[in-house]
Structure 1
Amino acid sequence: MINIFARYTVFQKITPPTDETAFLNFAKSLRSDIIHQGIANAEPQNQPKAFVKNESTYRYYAEAGKWPQGFLVTGDAVCSFNPIYGQGMTAALLAAESLAKSAAHGNSDNTAWVKNAQRNIVQAYRSPWTISTNEDLRWPATEGPKTGVALRTMHKFSNLIGIAAAHNQHVAYTYIQVLHMTATPAALLTPLMLARILKSGLRKKSRL
């Protein structure tokens, strides 16, 4: 028997309307009206279409129990993201790199190697999964664990990063690198970056 541990989160269960007037009203209802400002006076080229695929799925293969020799899983079969984040292909590449590194130190004839290689593939998705789904968990309609000191702390820190990034170009650039996966989240935790985030974030937050 193969033991599979899966975690699911679902983004807001809201589908934007597809008629022009209702779509404009929907855009205006967002937290920021910048999108509404950009399209309010634009002439549509065709009828709006709604994209309804909005779930993210992460399967913890080979965490426990037996794993079949010579069988590996990667790509969307391990982890698939809400496409709004644009992380799927990059995350799949990280998993492929993990497999290539494992292949340099073993082969599929070794049962222990196969299981360890599968665990490494799963682990390669951990960082982008944390970045995207922890933000999803802010929303009431999202399915998933919404409690815990770690999650609340992460949300508060993310709030500070967002505020600081709007006023400090160094924070903004690093934050974009992390979101685009050209830098790891650790880039936001260096002493200098933490000082910039706390200085800008707390100061601007106190003025809100």
Structure 2
Amino acid sequence: MNETPAPGPPGDRTGPGRAVVVGGSLAGMLAAAALAGRADEITVVERDTLPRHPQPRRGLPQAAHVHLFMPGGVQAMERLLPGVTERLEERGARRLAMPTDMLVQSPQGWFPRWPQTHRILLCSRDLLDQVVRRELARQHPHVTVLDGAEALGPTGDARHLTGLRVRTAGGERSLGADLVVDACGRGSRAPAWLAGLGAAVPRETRLDTGLVYATRCYRAPEGTEPFPVVFVQADPRSGVPGRGAVLEPVEGGRWLVTLSGTRGGEPTADPDAFVDFARSLRHPVVGDLIAGAEPLTGVVVTRTTANRRRYFERLSGWPEGFVVVGDAVAAYNPVYGHGMAVAAQSAAALGDTVSAWGLHAPGTARRAQRAVARHASAAWDLAVGQDVFYPGATGRRPTVRERLAARFVDRLMYTATGSGETARAVNDVMTLEKPPASLLRPRVLAAALRGPRAPAPPGPPLTARERAAARLTPGPRSAA
């Protein structure tokens, strides 16, 4: 077992430093990138055998579904791995102009295709993770990835972690570390690890709408590249189960289509029911778009979608040398597209804290945990503030404050259907580039009071070329 170096002053980065990151998905790889240059040795421990090419793996079942990488997260990822976005684009990823190239039906109506204010990254999750792994290895060759290894638990005590016990094909061993980062996602055992050390266990909050995700991949019709993202949103306050759909163009000339439904309105794995479900939504455009498209896969269903928040940052006596990031801190209803962005922002916050205070300074881990929590909390409030209104949501009922906030958000969204300035302010928050408090600026409040300057589009604002290329097949209500 390595001996923990003596603590140094804030900013001290002298002496040997070792870090172990548990989890080899996006959160873990970006955490390793954030620690590169701040620790001499970094080991990423991953239970799966990581594929060399973009392909599914057992430990990431949600990879089959639509993933929209919000600008706030893309910016953090690019800061940690400069040039990674360009590498992704070389492999077929696309930087989509938002809202110009997005067709969104909100509960208040269709949004116009306003001039670009943000850029979302579109690609399959398999490609994203593979390119991030490759860039991490290229830019930071001193980072070691130990895959096919099970993390058994930390070494040390309630005051100070000293490493991690792992099991590989060769048996069990301990990895000494000055910092252990848990990036294990929803499957994190951090509370059990803390309890096993005799440390306090965090309070946990859970809100479950019963959301089910069902995804199928299609061959994009010839001539539809590029094509906008199409998003039919659910209405949390309609009094009926929330049902929606997203069509995302990804690399390889494919369309990923994800259907979603909360408790009582869930999609199924039946491929024969997929188009009918999409056509039964508030608008049938997604169903009409895919009715004549060639399916490339069956239907993949995921039910692990509950919102869950663990308040590690509020514990007293937080152990030195331990930080939890990503979905292990807060996991969100995936329909909001915030999980990857928060993971990237949390990794950047971890790196900034270690850079400012030093790997060995007393309190660095606690400071990093609080910095991570700030990013997690913003996305948590956005998700729970909507999901708490769905019928059958379990966990708690809406508070008076949430009801008032929801009415304000409804007014903002209604205004955004006919005000580009308001749409930009809303998108600043939804893409995690600005905090929710930015919506309280006088100009935004005044716009909300005034309301939309123009009526919302009567239907999805597809161009004539897009309609022709997609060869829309009319449904119960025409997408035209």
TM tier, shorter chain?
0.7 to 0.9
**Per-residue displacement from partner, 1:25-61 (whole Å, max 9, x unpaired)?**
4324433444344345555444433333322222110
Q: Which amino acid aligns with 1:153?
A: L
Matches within 5 A, 1:46-65: 46-65=297-316
Contact 2:349 2:371 in 1 (8 A): yes
| In the alignment, structure 1 residue 186 sits paired with structure 2 residue 437 | yes
Q: Which runs of 5+ in 2 are unaligned?
A: 1-198, 210-261, 456-480
Give 2:204's aligned residue.
Answer: 6
Q: Distance in 2 between matches of 1:34 and 1:156?
A: 28
After superposition, the Cα gap between the structure-2 partners of 1:198 and 1:37, relative to the gap in structure 1 and judged at 3 Å, is farther
Q: Distance in 2 between matches of 1:34 and 1:130?
A: 30
Q: Which runs of 5+ in 1 are unaligned?
A: none
Q: Which amino acid aligns with 1:2?
A: A
Contact 2:389 2:398 in 1 (8 A): no
Secondary structure at the counterpart of residue 313 of structure 2: strand
**Per-residue displacement from partner, 1:154-201 (whole Å, max 9, x unpaired)?**
111121122111111211222223211223323322111111122116
Q: Who wins on radius of gyration, i.e. which is larger?
A: 2
Q: Which amino acid aligns with 2:349?
A: S
Match of 1:159 among 389, 410, 421: 410
| In the alignment, structure 1 residue 147 sits paired with structure 2 residue 395 | no
Match of 2:368 among 87, 96, 117: 117
Secondary structure at the counterpart of residue 143 of structure 1: coil
What's the CA shift for 1:152?
0.3
**Per-residue displacement from partner, 1:43-100 (whole Å, max 9, x unpaired)?**
5444433333322222110312322111111122112223222211211122122222
Contact 2:279 2:287 in 1 (8 A): yes
Q: If the length of structure 2 is used for normalisation, what is the TM-score?
A: 0.39
| In the alignment, structure 1 residue 66 sits paired with structure 2 residue 305 | no
Matches within 5 A, 1:4-83: 4-11=202-209, 12-13=262-263, 14-40=265-291, 42=293, 44-83=295-334
Contact 1:177 1:183 in 2 (8 A): yes
After superposition, the Cα gap between the structure-2 partners of 1:94 and 1:152, relative to the gap in structure 1 and judged at 3 Å, is same
Give 1:174's aligned residue.
Answer: 425
**Per-residue displacement from partner, 1:124-145 (whole Å, max 9, x unpaired)?**
2111111122111110222233
After superposition, the Cα gap between the structure-2 partners of 1:177 and 1:160, relative to the gap in structure 1 and judged at 3 Å, is same
Q: If the length of structure 1 is used for normalisation, what is the TM-score?
A: 0.83
Contact 2:429 2:436 in 1 (8 A): yes
Return the structure number with greater strand share. Answer: 2
Return the structure number with greater helix share. Answer: 1
CA RMSD of superposed structures (Å)? 2.6
| In the alignment, structure 1 residue 134 sits paired with structure 2 residue 385 | yes
Question: Aligned residues: percent identity?
Answer: 27
Contact 1:58 1:80 in 2 (8 A): yes
After superposition, the Cα gap between the structure-2 partners of 1:157 and 1:40, relative to the gap in structure 1 and judged at 3 Å, is farther
Q: Which amino acid aligns with 2:363?
A: A
Secondary structure at the counterpart of residue 104 of structure 1: helix
What's the CA shift for 1:151?
0.6
What's the CA shift for 1:21?
4.8
